[in-house]
A and B are shown apart, each in its own frame.
Chain A
Amino acid sequence: MGLTNEHVQQRLQEKFGETLTDFQEPYGFLTFTAPKELNLKVLHFLYDDAELRFQFLTDLTAVHYPDRTGEELAVVYHVHNLVDNIRLRFKVFINIETPDVFTATNLYASANWMERETYDFYGVNFVGHPDLRRILNVDEMDYFPMRKEYPLEDETRIDKDDEMFGRGGHYDYGNTTDEATGSTVPESEQQKDTYPV
């Protein structure tokens, strides 16, 4: 009798009750949501339990959902039971104003850099992490680039013309107002007095 998704779900619900929500199985992969205070307890339970034995952390990452106010950032853990060959994913939603989650580095050594990367990209503060600083981006960067509000390109570059790339540009050709002068006519089409006759 192998370990099945239903059995794992049953054990989790026995242990944690109603605090774990939203059990789904997209493409056969058991997924659920846990509250942020319990993330370490869930990981420990999955690790220490003699039957469940999820002792391999495959992945740790975050997702930014700008539309879910109050729960914008989701930290996603993928764990794997190598012996019974079953995988599990669970998400922990946190507020973007106070993105604090407990760190998993004491349990899994691989979580060290994965949490640093998540901090670097999304600003998730892992409480108790031995060395939480930027890993992939330059140290002087003062924003968290993977959040949805920041653009992909470097805004300060001068050699690429955003108009040609189909983005940027100031005018929508008649539909917007120039903030400085209050006119609705693009600058190139304005009649200037200095224009030679």
Chain B
Amino acid sequence: MSLPELHKNHVRLPDGSIEKTTTTLNLGPTHPATHGVFQNILELDGERIVSAEQTVGYIHRAFEKIAERRPLYQITPLTDRLNYCSSPINNMGWHLTCEKLLGVKTPKRVDYLRIIIMELARISDHLICNSVIGVDTGAFTGFLYVMQQRELIYEIYEEVCGSRLTTNIGRIGGFERNFNDIAFRKLEQFLEEYPKVLKEFENLFKRNRIFMERTIGAGPISADRALNYGFTGPNLRAAGVDYDVRVHAPYSSYEDFEFNIPVGKTGDSYDRFLVRNDEMWESLKIIRAAYQKVQEFKGAEAEVFHADVPEYYLPQKKDVYTKMEALIYHFKIIMGEIDMPAGEVYHAVEGGNGELGFYLISDGGRAPFRLHFRRPCFIYYQAYSELTKGAMLSDAIIVMSSLNLIAGEMDG
């Protein structure tokens, strides 16, 4: 039968009845490739994306409203759950904000210990992001290798604060206990084992032809558009702007350390991968330098692990039982009856995703009057529709995972 005869029996729809020429695809909140709960409604023309609309808020936990009820030290567990892959950075950022409000200056040893913990957290965050980019391109092995190294980092956290993931590490003014020998030994073990693992991981991806062809050109953004969209962190540095809060507004004695800021060119997924990779090497350098500086403190100075903030730092139990002031402060802190000084302060730290800002307004009561988190993920996710315009569906997945979107930080 010839073709026209075959077509004679087909149903013919009236002309103009099909107006839509694009397919709507719901890359829904539950999807294996979206590492977190956010939704993308894509309009596809075949395999190309015509437009993308994002929906967030599937894990909105009302942090800012909860924080209006709690005294300062009880807000730290909330900050943990912002970017939960690198929760010590959030905790330290919050403590630095409180210390700015209270006018507390921490001793150098505390600063260096904080830097060690924050850079470990940054390594932990970038490891997840880079290995997950690998998983999304189909390379599962890298992910399994580096999870083992993250277990080492978790063990270091456990020695200091007792918990692995949502750490609530540190207190206003310092740490809750001094780092013991086991923690330092684990840190040395990490510093010895980790470079080899990172080198192996890098070799799997950096000059891998399949990986490069998938990620180069996926979701590029120019520096101007990135700045206009409020990008910060590795995503902005991949676009060519070397803005790093650790260098621009150094906190916690970062000015004592020398490190480079890796910068990319085109801002596509390959550049983001490379920037994060290089940042991990820089973090390793910083941890080594900080550890060396910590070891230089000898004698009584080596026992210092917190500043003197009697109103917010829980006193030692032996002092509570013997001294009067310690007893009173212990009571007031536990019952939550300490009043903060009034004022408004904004402090930013370099989180795993960029500038994590804390805007705290205090009216002199026990809980903040208003606390706002400047969450980098929320701000740069808006650019997703621009990044994926005209890209193919598989590129959309790569762009999403290379932006390192953490749902907890996005919705907050």
Contacts and interface: CB of A to CB of B under 8 A. Distances in A.
Contacts of B227: 55-56, 82
Contacts of A55: 227
B226 to A, nearest CB: 10
B411 interface: yes
A40 interface: no
B197 interface: no
B65 A110 contact: no
Contact of B355 (A58, A64, A85, A146): A58
Nearest to B383: A109
A116 to B, nearest CB: 10
A145 B65 contact: yes
Q: Is the interface of B mostly helix, strand, loop or mixed?
A: mixed
Contact of A78 (B68, B248, B346): B346
B344 interface: yes
Interface of B: 56-57, 60, 62, 64-66, 68-69, 100-101, 225, 227-230, 241, 243, 248-249, 343-346, 348, 355, 357, 359, 361, 369-370, 372, 374, 378-383, 411
B69 A152 contact: yes
Interface in A174-193: none
Interface residues of A, number: 34
Given A85-B249, A109-B228, A152-B65, A78 B379 contact: no
B359 A76 contact: yes
Contact of A26 (B66, B345, B379): B345
Nearest to B347: A27
B343 A109 contact: no
A110 B357 CA distance: 15
Contacts of A101: none
A56 B225 CA distance: 11
Interface of A: 26-27, 29, 31, 55-59, 61, 63-64, 76, 78, 82, 85, 87, 89, 108-110, 112-114, 117, 121, 134-138, 145-146, 152
Given A27-B343, A27-B345, A59 B228 contact: no
A136 B57 contact: yes
A87 B344 CA distance: 14
B90 to A, nearest CB: 16
B57 A58 contact: no
Given A63-B361, A76-B359, A109 B374 contact: no
Given A59-B374, A108-B230, A109-B225, 5 more contacts: A26-B345, A59-B357, A87-B346, A121-B64, A146-B64
Q: Which of A26, A31, A64, A117 gathers most chain B CB within 10 Å?
A: A117
Nearest to A78: B346
5 contacts: A27-B345, A109-B230, A110-B228, A145-B65, A152-B65
Contact of B60 (A63, A78, A87, A137): A137
B359 A61 contact: yes
B378 A113 contact: yes
Q: Which of A78, A136, A137, A145 gathers most chain B CB within 10 Å?
A: A136
A173 B101 CA distance: 40
Contact of B359 (A78, A82, A137, A152): A78
Contacts of B382: 109-110, 112-113
B367 to A, nearest CB: 11
A145 B248 contact: no
Task: Please give me the 9 A-B residue pairs with the lowest Cβ-Cβ distance, nearest first.
Answer: A110-B230, A136-B57, A136-B60, A59-B374, A61-B372, A109-B228, A63-B370, A109-B229, A113-B382
Contacts of A117: 378
Contacts of A110: 228-230, 379-380, 382
Contact of A85 (B66, B248, B344, B378): B248
